[in-house]
């Protein structure tokens, strides 16, 4: 019996807890991409850099707070900085909308042209961010590091396997739950949210029934700004901030959005967790897990790993390609926004 509990603790420590946190970050990112897709109808390659921008602002505010001695110990200062970075990201997106995206929206250009425009924005933001903050890695997770330490857990329960939960992981999951609940409430219950859904379903019909397209687009960018800056800051808090990584992060996020079905918010959230969990399950070495469960003489010799850990990122791309080929509409098809 104790072996089973040990095995489950092992899984919880190495797969479930980290994947819940990573999946939440991906879910928030994918939700942002999906909203842009549903309302403005293009795949936004600049989304990773928008997240990066939000994170950068958070870091600047955290440095400012730290230098004048403001903190909310044991919680990380990042939580305090979030409102500022959200505001800054929204301002950035509204400026981008006014100067860049609006023109193409009015011209009703093809999605491909729109996508190339977003590549231009991606270049611009990437240069801007790296110019301001540099390219080196920055850690900004101050405050209490662990909620439960592996050694404490072992002492408390007397198990052979430990379970550690970092503060950043818990914060990530809690913030994600709150934010996703808010977004769903907004889309389904408020008048503005309903007008957004109508606009995404059928633009012409929505215009006919008197929905103001400018307002819908501005609200969309505001929501995207909230989602992107929170997702970026949480990711940076959990794994450290490095501008290059955010460019790579676009692909797992696209994968999450597409696996769930682009334009579908429930799908985006589910997709985030699917990507995170499959990355963890496929690269996990099952040796110790099986040693607990199997009789002694069956214990495996190798690592029992499906793919080595270096391929972690690649798994999301493979999933993305498979889903695009087998079921391009995603797992939750037929529903947008």
Partner 1 sequence: MNLWNQKSNKKVFLLFAIMSGALLIVGFFQSWNLMLAILNLCLISAVMSLGVNLQWGYAGLFNAGIMGFAALGGLAAMLVTKAPVIGAWHAGGFGILLGMFILVVSAILAYFVWVRLEGRGKKRYWYVIFIVVIGYIISRFVLGPAIISIESFEPSSSGYLGGAGLPVLLSWFVGGLLAALVAFFIGRITLGLRSDYLAIATLGISEIVIFIFKNEDWLTRGVKNVTGIPRPVPYEIELQSSIWFQNLSEYIGIGVIQASSLFVKLCYTSLFLSVLLILLWLCEKALNSPWGRMMRAIRDNETAASAMGKNVTSRHLQIFVIGSAIVGIAGAMLVTLDGQFNPTIYHPLRFTFLIWVMVIVGGSGNNFGAILGGFIVWFFWIEAEIIGNALVQILTLPLSDSSSLKEHFLNTAPQLRLLIMGLVLLLFLRFAPRGLIPEKTLSKLSK
Q: Give the Cβ contact number of residue 131 at 10 Å.
A: 9
The nearer residue to partner 1, 116 or 159, going by C-beta atoms, is: 116
The nearest distance, CB 288 to partner 1, in angstroms, is 19
| CA angle (151, 157, 158) in 5-degree steps | 75
The nearest distance, CB 154 to partner 1, in angstroms, is 33
Number of residues that bind partner 1 (CB under 8 A): 48
User: What span, in angstroms and rounded, lies between the C-alpha atoms of 190 and 205?
Assistant: 19
- For every residue of 129-172, DSSP letters joined together read HHHHH-SS-B----S--EEE-HHHHHHHH--SS---EEHHHHHH
Binding residues among 244-283 for partner 1 as defined by CB under 8 A: 247-248, 251, 254-255, 258
Task: Kindly write out the interface string for residues 6-45 of this chain, putting x where it contacts partner 1 by CB under 8 A and - elsewhere.
Answer: ------------------------------------xx--
The nearer residue to partner 1, 123 or 185, going by C-beta atoms, is: 123
User: What span, in angstroms and rounded, lies between the C-alpha atoms of 302 and 305?
Assistant: 8
The nearer residue to partner 1, 165 or 256, going by C-beta atoms, is: 256
Task: Tell whether residue 115 is a contact of partner 1 (CB under 8 A).
Answer: yes
The nearer residue to partner 1, 240 or 328, going by C-beta atoms, is: 328
Task: Tell whether residue 325 is a contact of partner 1 (CB under 8 A).
Answer: yes
Closest Cα partner for 48 from 135, 113, 121, 131?
A: 121
Find the part of the chain contacting partner 1 (CB under 8 A) among 5-13, 83-91, 104-112, 269-277.
104-112
- Mapped onto helix, strand or coil, the DSSP state of residue 302 is coil
Which of 15, 121, 237, 275 touches partner 1 by CB under 8 A?
Answer: 121
Task: Kindly write out the interface string for residues 282-311 of this chain, putting x where it contacts partner 1 by CB under 8 A and - elsewhere.
Answer: --------------------x-----x-xx
Binding residues among 185-244 for partner 1 as defined by CB under 8 A: none
Task: Tell whether residue 119 is a contact of partner 1 (CB under 8 A).
Answer: yes
| CA distance to 47, 84, 105, 125, 192, per residue, from 97 (Å) | 13, 20, 9, 14, 19
Q: Is the peptide bond before 74 cis (omega within 30 degrees of 0)?
A: yes
Task: Tell whether residue 132 is a contact of partner 1 (CB under 8 A).
Answer: yes
Q: Which residues contact 160 (CB under 8 A, 6 or more apart)?
A: 6, 154
- Do residues 232 and 55 make contact, with C-beta atoms less than 8 angstroms apart? yes
Tell me which residues touch partner 1 (CB under 8 A).
42-43, 100, 103, 110-113, 115-117, 119-128, 130-135, 247-248, 251, 254-255, 258, 302, 308, 310-311, 313-314, 316-318, 320-321, 324-326, 328
């Amino acid at each position: 019996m104790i072996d089973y509990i040990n095995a489950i603790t092992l899984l919880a420590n190495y797969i479930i807890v980290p994947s819940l946190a990573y999946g939440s970050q991906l879910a928030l990112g994918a939700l942002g991409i999906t909203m842009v897709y549903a309302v403005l109808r293009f795949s936004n390659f600049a989304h990773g850099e928008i997240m990066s921008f939000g994170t950068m602002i958070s870091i600047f505010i955290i440095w400012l707070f730290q230098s004048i001695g403001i903190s909310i110990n044991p919680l990380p200062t990042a939580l305090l900085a979030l409102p500022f970075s959200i505001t800054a990201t929204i301002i950035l997106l509204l400026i981008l909308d006014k100067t860049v995206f609006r023109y193409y929206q009015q011209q009703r250009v093809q999605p491909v042209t729109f996508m190339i425009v977003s590549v231009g924005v991606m270049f611009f933001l990437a240069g801007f961010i790296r110019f301001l903050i540099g390219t080196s890695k920055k850690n900004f997770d101050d405050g209490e590091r662990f909620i439960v330490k592996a050694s404490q857990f072992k002492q408390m329960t007397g198990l052979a396997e430990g379970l550690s939960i970092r503060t950043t992981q818990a914060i990530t999951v809690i913030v994600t739950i709150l934010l996703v609940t808010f977004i769903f409430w907004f889309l389904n219950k408020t008048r503005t949210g309903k007008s957004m859904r109508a606009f995404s379903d059928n633009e012409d019909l929505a215009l006919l029934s008197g929905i103001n397209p400018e307002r819908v687009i501005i609200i969309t960018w505001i929501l995207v700004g909230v989602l992107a800056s929170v997702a970026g800051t949480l990711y940076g808090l959990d794994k450290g901030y490095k501008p290059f990584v955010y460019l790579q992060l676009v692909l797992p996020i696209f994968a999450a959005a597409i696996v769930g079905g682009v334009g579908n918010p429930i799908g985006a959230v589910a997709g985030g967790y699917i990507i995170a969990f499959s990355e963890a399950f496929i690269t996990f070495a099952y040796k110790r897990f099986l040693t607990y469960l199997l009789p002694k003489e069956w214990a495996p010799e190798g690592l029992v790993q499906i793919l080595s850990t270096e391929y972690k990122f690649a798994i999301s791309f493979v999933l993305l390609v498979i889903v695009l080929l087998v079921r391009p509409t995603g797992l939750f098809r037929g529903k947008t926004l």
